[in-house]
Structure 1
């Protein structure tokens, strides 16, 4: 077995064996650059030299009913996270317009909480209409939507539904006790059934094993999600994971590369925790690790990097922001 042989398997569309996956996970550290080069080759074969840019707005913050161990917005934790109801639609649309000026094509409206009531649904609908009218691809991350809500929002112009599984089914009970993993899986299935572009991924560095990481990737592959956001833990004071060490950049890069091998044709978007793990100095490595998308601007409750600097680094890496016509 060799890395090149595994690489050729992926390019040929052959499913990797368990031994191939463990070979990648256990590849010596001094061969990381070789692994990243192969992962980048896979993403180039599938996506060319384009990179998808997305941005989000924290449209409703705090007091979430769920107790996810990493989350600053959980009502079960004592954090300094801001708390406010759903922002006015015009404010959400204005934020989307600002992001569009930087080449962002997908704009995510993110709201804390598990369920969506009628008043918030009206606000989301108006915001989606406004974003779609500008030529943006509106995405929504509001918790768990039922089929009728999804269809109504799609009619208003919604393009994508975002709902992370966060981790494997095996590890999930250690991370959250207020709802089941199957509820999240069913939410993803509902988005796909509604004909939406579904973005579902996870957060890494919360105590999960490599087997958990593989399990999550294979679950997402089986479900058929089109886009997989990769987040890294940014420990927040007041959460159960406040004292957990941040992932080393080398381990985070290996995660991205592994996901490219396991999910060769899916959009892999580097999102939360990017600056926490990589800072401003290792962007080039990240952009050449297999990722095909990048979240720019601020995250939910933490500050992101400078978008202009991100765009410069993207150009330096020989990549260019993709246009809407390239997106499914």
Structure 2
């Protein structure tokens, strides 16, 4: 089947916004062709190999930011757990468990705008050093907005990847968060890159953004040349402003994944939060749509699928897990 978008991408020419939008609008046979192209692009870049990632909710709740989707925001009334930073041993134990589950990357995630120099950062740095020494896994950190000294300290401690999502398009961001500016998030990505870390940066879909704004986010991430992109789909949380939002359809999720694969043909793309609720029986389609990995285990405040079910899905999809 003729696929001019695939031909253009394989020729090394980036798609325009108008061309990218057609991916999100594809239906029927046109969508089948789009997915076949996305599958081809994934296999060209990664073969049948996928990478898994895991996270630990290292510090939960009481976040000063007012992100409309977030269960941990102090601005919302949710039942999300609230606790201080976990101990160094707990952070390292999480890495050992993630490595045992075949994860390639393990993220230490803290709630709040940022982590300032002091005991908390020192504990995280000590845990990162131990994880590099005691496990084969690549450690990652997601500590909010980042300054140059902190970024350099993280890199020196062995943090391979810094994770910081833009969440949505710049044009839609004021509808999602008003407690900090979008440019602060963009600058955090740049700071992490300057410190020599890889950057994992993506967003969450189903917040009320338009198709055009989904393309806008993808274009921004392409311009920033991030190393990996986590794609999340809203799982509405009671007590947040978005608690009544409708889930995306499985094929909406599939089209979003394909969009990112066409715009970022050689970038790692992982499907993360919300896949169980939004994709439902279509979860194995993420690889046909171009994803080169997924998150396993639990998320920050919600539970994921059991490992056996995911491992069976990987076998059924004939993809091979690349462990650390």
Deviation of 1:61 after TM superposition, in Å, equals 0.1
- Shift of residue 151 of structure 1? 0.9
Secondary structure at 1:116's aligned position in 2?
coil
1:60 aligns with 2:96: no
Q: 1:156 to 1:20 in 2, by over 3 A?
A: same
1:51 equivalenced with 2:50 (yes/no):
yes
| Stretches of structure 1 lacking an aligned partner (at least 5 in a row) | none
Q: Does 1:171 align with 2:172?
A: yes
Q: Is the 1:53–1:296 Cα contact (8 Å) retained in structure 2?
A: yes
Q: Deviations over 1:70-117 (max 9, x none)?
A: 000000000000000000011111111111112111000000001212
- Counterpart residue number, 1:289: 289
Q: Is the 8 A contact 1:59 1:92 kept in 2?
A: yes
1:141-220 correspondence runs (5 A): 141-220=142-221
Secondary structure, counterpart of 1:214 in structure 2: helix
Q: Is the 8 A contact 2:21 2:215 kept in 1?
A: no
Q: Verify the 8 A CA contact 2:169 2:217 in the aligned structure 1.
A: yes
| 1:203–1:230 contact (8 Å) kept in structure 2 | yes
Tell me the alpha carbon deviations over residues 284-307 of structure 1, each in whole angstroms, 9 at most, x when there is no partner.
Answer: 212221001110000000000112
Could you tell me whether the CA contact under 8 Å between 1:141 and 1:163 is conserved in 2? yes
TM-score by length of 1: 0.95
Q: What TM-score do the two structures reach when normalised by structure 2? A: 0.96
Taking the aligned partners of 1:236 and 1:176, their CA distance within structure 2 comes to: 16
Which segment is superposed worse, 190-199 or 310-319?
A: 310-319
C-alpha distance in 1, partners of 2:88/2:18? 50
For 1:104, the equivalent position in structure 2 comes to 103
Residues 3 and 119 of structure 1, relative CA distance in 2, 3 Å threshold = farther
Change (3 A) 1:169 1:18: closer
CA distance in 1, matches of 2:86, 2:274: 24
Q: Following TM superposition, by how much is the alpha carbon of 1:202 offset from its aligned partner in structure 2, in angstroms? A: 0.3
Give unpaired runs (5+ residues) of structure 2: none
Alignment partner, residue 124 of structure 1: 124
CA-CA distance at 1:10 after TM superposition: 1.0
Give the match for residue 240 of structure 1.
Answer: 241
Q: Report deviation, 1:18.
A: 3.4
- Structure 2 equivalent of residue 22 of structure 1: 21
Q: Could you tell me which residue of structure 1 aligns to residue 305 of structure 2?
A: 305
Deviation digits for residues 262-304 of structure 1 (CA, Å, limit 9, x no counterpart): 111111110000111123x322212221001110000000000
| Residue matched to 1:254 | 255
Distance 2:38 2:271 in 1: 14
Distance 1:211 1:145, change over 3 A: same
Worse-superposed segment, 20-29 or 246-255: 20-29
Higher mean displacement: 68-77 or 313-322: 313-322
Quote the offset at 1:30 in angstroms. 4.8
- 1:88 is the counterpart of 2:60: no
Change in 2 beyond 3 A, CA 1:284/1:96: same
CA distance in 2, matches of 1:116, 1:213: 29
Tell me how large the CA RMSD over aligned residues is. 1.3
For the residues of structure 1 that align with 2:195 and 2:318, how far apart are their CA atoms? 36
Cα distance in 1 between the residues matched to 2:256 and 2:2: 16
How many residue pairs end up in the alignment?
A: 322
